[in-house]
Structure 1
Amino acid sequence: MNSSPLGVDRRIYDADLYDGFNRFTDDLPFYLCLARAARGSVLELCCGTGRLTLPLAGAGVDITGLDFTSSMLERARRKAREARLRIRFVRGDMKAKSLGRKFRLVFIPFNSLQNTYSVEDVERVFRNVRRHLSPGGRFAFDVFNPSVRYIVESERKVQKAKIRFRLPDGRKVSIDERFRYDAARQTARVTWVHHVGGKTFASRLDMRCFYPLELDALLRHNGFSVLRKYGSFDLKPFRSESPKQIFVCAQR
């Protein structure tokens, strides 16, 4: 068994690279709808450079963003200043950081829960979410629905130029992906080979895979009721073939 530590390479969190490959917006209407329905303050965990935080604030949502990476928060604050938005961005670990207040909605977007690798750490996240939820508040998040077929097929090949974009300075970026599944730790071990302006470097992105019944049980065990579970951001019901697991929960 490979016992190398699980984690995410710090180069994944380079703000320019992050903004380049994180242009996904399919989740924005979903989280905006939840934020408006909350009718109160909202906390986004793992907010990154503000991909969702800024448009939600621009729509009138009272939102706070928390992230562990200083460079990402610096970029988020700069974007907020340029957009003339008042947003509180806080550096901290979602497993433990206390903000000293309650929120009507807490959400963890973009598969970020999959960067917690042990059951103990997942439970620490859930406990911290509960500490920050006001009575009647909602907890929402999304993760991938693991596909055995995808795992098998992805281990057989290198996906060349899976991601392509340009940096603000005009340099072209192309990213190849290699994938290996660590069954003992239920973790997809992804290596990205970045080709940036003639230079090449590799970075690692480990993602914990949560199987559907396992995640349902973890939520119940940690004091949550699942109110709704979707399989995609167009609100289709969750099924075996769904690409995502999208949860809306309340405290029991």
Structure 2
Amino acid sequence: MVANIFDGNSVFEEDYLYFYETLLTLERTQHEVDLICRLLDLQAGMSILDLACGHGRIANQLGARGYHVTGLDATAFFLEKANQDAASNGVKVEYLQGDMRSLPFSERFNCIINCFTAFGYFDDNENRAVLTQAYRALKVGGKLLIDIQNFSRVLQEFTPELITEREGNYMLARTHYDALTNRTHTERIIIRDGQVRRGQYFVRNFTFPEIRDWLLQTGFSEVEGYGYDGEPFALDSRRMIVVASK
């Protein structure tokens, strides 16, 4: 097996956004922001960190609602796009380039969000370090929201090969599930504008009891699980949304 070394710049870049932005509609984003506001009971003036904010689709919507938002991501291309979209819509969001495993914050935020399966790309020690860093960055009484895949749905709907087409361009994802490590390994092949590009990544999968225990071991006092529409988490929930309180 290939070593689990994650290179975000080879995975989350312009090709990624090109193929996925058609799925990340404004309607979907507004639904997710509404749910975030409800599950975190966001109040006016609260400070929020969007951890692995990508191109700012969630952060900019939260900023438009008047919250004090900081977005952190490792990918310069995404941050440039996030800043451009914020400026064009008159939204104020602070964007920073950084590594979620080493955050420059201590007890600064009321809430931290991590959306669209942006957690689990490192080995277990480093994934735990992300939770520790988030815990440190939260104020006492703050909350962490993590939106990841529902592992039972991953297994039920597992597709070894998936082809995405847009405007005559193609993204092929070949995925293997490793039951010994509970990781999915994906090789991604992009065929676009006559060019072929390849990348690969691993994602750690979690059951709710496992991620709950990790969070409790980090120091969080209470952990709750929800589905994509805010219902109590269940085996057939579309997503797994975890809310942990400090």
- Normalised TM-score (structure 1): 0.84
Residue 149 of structure 1 deviates from its aligned partner by: 7.2
Deviation at 1:219, TM superposition (A): 1.1
1:93-112 maps to which residues of 2 (within 5 A)?
Answer: 93-99=99-105, 102-112=108-118
Name stretches of at least 5 consecutive residues in structure 1 with no aligned partner.
Answer: 167-171
Q: CA deviation at 1:195?
A: 2.1
TM superposition shift of 1:164: 3.2
Q: Write the distance in 2 (CA, Å) between the matches of 1:192 and 1:69.
A: 18
3-state secondary structure, aligned to 1:13:
coil
Counterparts in 2 of 1:53 and 1:43: CA distance versus 1, 3 Å: same
Q: SS state of the match for residue 238, structure 1? A: coil
Partners of 1:58 and 1:27 in 2: CA distance: 14
What displacement does 1:28 show? Answer: 2.7
**1:38 shift after superposition:** 4.1
Aligned to 1:188: 184
CA distance in 1, matches of 2:89, 2:39: 23
Report how many aligned residue pairs link the two structures: 239
> Sequence identity of aligned pairs in percent?
22
**Alpha-carbon displacement from aligned partner over 1:107-135 (angstroms, at most 9, x marks no partner):** 111111122331x2122112211211112
Corresponding position of 1:246: 241
**Does 1:58 pair with 2:64?**
yes
Q: What runs of 5+ residues in structure 2 fail to find an aligned partner?
A: none
Aligned to 1:75: 81
Between the aligned partners of 1:56 and 1:38, the Cα distance in structure 2 is 12
Match of 1:169 in 2: none
Contact preservation (8 Å) 1:195, 1:201: yes
- Alpha carbons 2:228, 2:238 under 8 Å: kept: no
Secondary structure, aligned partner of 2:90 = coil
Residue in 2 that maps onto 1:146: 151
Superimposed CA distance per residue, residues 162-210 of structure 1 (whole angstroms, 9 cap, x where no aligned partner) = x3335xxxxx432122111123332100122222123332221321111
Aligned to 1:237: 232
Provide closer, same or farther for how the CA distance between residues 151 and 214 of structure 1 changes in structure 2, counting only shifts above 3 A. same
Change (3 A) 1:99 1:149: closer
Distance 1:178 1:102, change over 3 A: same
Is the alpha carbon distance of 1:75 and 1:149 closer, same or farther for their aligned partners in structure 2, counting shifts above 3 Å? Answer: closer
Q: Does 1:173 align with 2:185?
A: no
Structure 1 position 220 matched with structure 2 position 216: yes
The alpha carbon displacement at 1:9 in A equals: 5.6
Question: Matches of 1:100 and 1:152 in 2, distance apart?
Answer: 40
| Structure 1: distance between partners of 2:188 and 2:136 | 36
Give the whole-Å Cα distance in 1 for the aligned partners of 2:92 and 2:153.
44
Aligned counterpart, 1:164? 165
3-state DSSP class of the match of 1:128?
Answer: helix
For the aligned residues, what is the CA RMSD? 2.4
- Cα pair 1:35 1:61 within 8 Å, conserved: no
The one-letter amino acid of 2:199's match is S
Which residue of 110, 123, 129 maps to 2:128?
123
Cα separation, 1, equivalents of 2:143 and 2:179: 32
Please say if residues 9 and 203 of structure 1, whose CA atoms lie closer than 8 Å, have aligned partners that are also in contact. no
Q: Cα–Cα, structure 1 residues 50 and 148, in superposed 2: closer, same or farther, change >3 Å?
A: closer
